[in-house]
Structure formats: structure tokens, C-alpha cells
Structure 1
């Protein structure tokens, strides 16, 4: 049985939103031969997530000392068993068929290393708002994400919260980037320098907009730390590209002797 691991870092969860995330995950239909596990990692040991969520053997609970979302997400990665890793924040919801679409692309296209999908903002009144600048459905080649990000004032052409990625690639880039905010942007840009992605044009996520979300807090946009993390994400991408260019195109092992 193949496993797709859904990783969710949890900190001071709203019961209504975390329950909605579970309900949407539990409603996912996966292809034959596949199962999901939900790796819920709590940032600080309070037991709140376990108290909110139902008794489901597919949920794996863990905790760590309070250290922020990137550290918590990476520790969830360490506990995950799947070779496909799906991101899901505690207040968001997967749409019907989201996991099946990720799996279908990554199974059918061996050159594709990660997927993202279209997102709708889920507003407090229950309405949804889409975006006008999604890329066309199809492959996203190394360097393409970085170029757009730099040319559009550090805005990505895809939403990093929707990422589904092969485990070996996310571990190769060190998991989610340990910066104060934009950890998912840092991971995605690094991964996109090494592996081809694929944008799925169907809506894969409802991204909840509410006053308590991390990206709505003033410290998320504080000018000094914002500039520093954009600088570091950019420098890291350039370093990956430069190191990749220095590698030989192929490595040929000595020919094995043939039978005489």
C-alpha cells in the first residue's frame, strides 16, 4: 500500500477550523492501492489537537517545544511514512479530489517532482474569492518560479500551501525553510530549482482568511525581517542553481566486465 502523508503543524488551533480540515481530509477518495495518513504536529505540548480531533487510526499526533511553524512542519516530516508529502495548514480545507489529482500527476509523470493547484480564499462569511493570474495547467520548469517571484515583487505564481512533493526532494532541500514567515515559499523555491513541478488547474484548497491566521499578523510583514528572509530565499536559490551547474551532466560508472 502506498501512503501520502499530509502534514499539519498545529498551534493554538480553533476547534471549528481544525475539525473542518479533518472532515475535508476524511472525505478524500484515493486511487486503488493508496492510503493517507495525517501527521499532526503540535507546536508546544498542550494536547489541544488530540482533544479536538476524533479517534482515527490514520491520525498520528506528535509535539515539540514551541519553536515556530517551520520547525514543527519539519518534525512532522521526520515522522511521516509516505513517499509523497502533502502540506495542509490547520485552518485550511482540501477540496474534493485534491489528493487523488496530486497522486495521478506524480504517478503518471515521473519527471514531475512536485505539484501545486488552484486556490480559493475562504472568507469569514463563507464566500470564496479566486485569482486571475494562475498559470496554465502543466509543467513548471526549474528557474521558472524564481524568475516570476523576482519579477513580481516577491510574489509566487502558485500558492505554496498547496504543495504535494516527493519526499526525497523535500528532504534534499532541508525541508521547510527556518525563517520567521515564508517557510513554505523558501521550501518551494529551493525545490523548484532542482525539480520540475506541475500546476493543476482545478481548485485544490480553500485558504481560510480570518484575523487569527499567521499571515494576517503584523509581525509577518515587519519590514526588516521580511527583507532579510526574501534576501536569504533568493540567495539560497542562486546557490542551488550555481552548484547544479557545477555538476557533470552525467556520471558514468566503470563498465562491468562481460562474460567471455
Structure 2
């Protein structure tokens, strides 16, 4: 039975939002025959703050880093456990809107050349209101390989899409190494490679809510300096992909054998 993974990097500071996040996942109506799993990876030691807010549901797969490793590494540890052929990223404080997963499944099923896809986002304000904004990089539909990175290069390394809400072919995400090991901008650094070598899709449907609140990681005092480094790293990665003439064209990849690689590996005795 086809499976889609929703991946969430969680942390105790955002645990209060997990019930809303989980409800937005499990209230999704999926196409006939499809199933969803929610892979939650906690950045830090396992905490009751996170675990007690997760539903008692066999579709939830929880694990913890047992150290503070940052969002990029935390997502990659979750990616190692993902079993779905498609993967929707969803931050701990954000929410999917009705029809979100059906939208990305439809895109991938109808457009075999597309490796990543996203819908529009609304800001969810602290008072519960929603704020919309127009797309920075129209038109909607197919986004050929390199078009997004062309825009980024022309706009001083700034990114015109909400990378926190992108869905992927899971095998394609693994092929570019997952998320970058950066304190911020781990998603744009990954997309700097993936969008350079594969086609994507921008859908006009509003599919998720980006929650604005005082404890967002993006409000960290070091965010400005980290952001500059992340944008530079992303530009360097795009340049390297172009100079290397990298390409990723195949989509007929069965994700199940990949997902099961190494599942029975154990810690070597001398490291246990």
C-alpha cells in the first residue's frame, strides 16, 4: 500500500503546538489506498513535554537525538526512519490545511519529472488570524531545474519560496544528502542542490500555515549572522552543482528497499 511520510523535527520549546500539528496530519483525507506515517524526531533528550503531546497512534514513529544537534541533523535522523515514497516536511509549530497531502500526491503521480513540490502558505498570527501573501516567483505549475536558483542568484541569495513546507520524492531527498548540517538555512542549502538538478512544482492551493510566535527558532539572536553564512553556503552549493553538471532524472525508484537498508544494524560492541 503506498505510503506518505510527514516528517517533523520537534523540540521541547515547541511542544505546546504538537497537538495542533498532529491533528492537522491525521485529519487529512488521502486518495484511495494511501496511508500516512508521522515521523517525529526530538532534538535533544527524550522529554515528556514532547512525548505526552503525541497521540497514541501506531502511525506515529517517535525517537530522540539524546543531544542538541540542530534542525538539519534532527531531520536527517528522522529521514533515516522514513518509509514513505513521498515525504512532506512539517515543522513542529506549523499545520497542514485540509487537502494538503492529496495535493502533493496528485502532483507527483501526474508529473513523473517532478521531484519536489509545494503549495502556498499563510502566516498564522498569535491572535489566530491568517495573513496571506502573493507568490514571489510566479507562475504556478512546473518549475524547471535551475529556474529557482537563477532567481536566488539574481536576488543576492534570498529565497522566494517557503522551504519549511516542501514535499519531496523521498529517494531524491536522500540522493542529495538530506538537509545541510547548518544552524539555520539547512533547508535552503539542501534545495540549492535539489532544485538545481531537478524539476519542481509550485501549486496555487494554500496547503499549510506558518505559525508566527515569539519562541520561533528563526528569532534566535544569532539568526542574522547565521543566515548570511547559510545563504553563502547555498550559493556555493548551487555553483558546485552547475560546474559539476550534476543531474537527477530518474523517478522510478522503489523507496521500500532503500528505507529498509541497514535497519538491522547494531552498535559495534566496542562502542556500546
When the two structures are superposed, what TM-score results if normalisation uses the length of structure 2?
A: 0.86
Segment of structure 1 superposing worse, 99-108 or 128-137: 128-137
2:106 corresponds in structure 1 to: 104
1:87-131 residue CA offsets vs partner (Å, 9 max, x unmatched): 000000001000000000100110111101101011001111111
Of the two, which has the highest radius of gyration?
Answer: 1
Tell me if structure 2 keeps the 8 A contact 1:24–1:95.
yes
Whether 1:79 and 2:86 are equivalent positions in the alignment is: no
Is the partner of 2:180 in helix, strand or coil?
Answer: coil
Segment of structure 1 superposing worse, 61-70 or 145-154: 145-154
2:158 corresponds in structure 1 to: 155
1:163-199 residue CA offsets vs partner (Å, 9 max, x unmatched): 1111121111110111120111111221101110000
Q: 2:199 aligns with which of 182, 196, 199?
A: 196
Q: Which runs of 4+ in 1 moved over 3 A?
A: 13-16
Tell me if structure 1 keeps the 8 A contact 2:120–2:135.
no
1:66-106 residue CA offsets vs partner (Å, 9 max, x unmatched): 11110000000000111111100000000100000000010
Segment of structure 1 superposing worse, 86-95 or 184-193: 184-193
* Structure 1 residues 14 and 168: alpha-carbon distance in aligned structure 2, compared to 1, 3 A threshold: closer
Listed as ranges, the gaps of 5+ residues in structure 2 are: 250-272
- For 1:109-258, list aligned pairs within 5 A: 109-134=111-136, 135-222=138-225, 225-244=226-245
When the two structures are superposed, what TM-score results if normalisation uses the length of structure 1?
A: 0.90
Aligned residues: 245
Tell me if structure 2 keeps the 8 A contact 1:29–1:100.
yes
State the shift of 1:153 in Å. Answer: 3.3
* Structure 1 residues 244 and 94: alpha-carbon distance in aligned structure 2, compared to 1, 3 A threshold: same
Mapped to 2, the partners of 1:96 and 1:166 lie a distance apart of 21
Listed as ranges, the gaps of 5+ residues in structure 1 are: 250-260
Is the partner of 1:133 in helix, strand or coil?
Answer: coil
Is the partner of 1:119 in helix, strand or coil?
Answer: strand
State the shift of 1:142 in Å. Answer: 1.2
Is the partner of 2:192 in helix, strand or coil?
Answer: helix
Tell me if structure 2 keeps the 8 A contact 1:13–1:90.
no
State the shift of 1:15 in Å. Answer: 4.1
Is the partner of 1:23 in helix, strand or coil?
Answer: helix
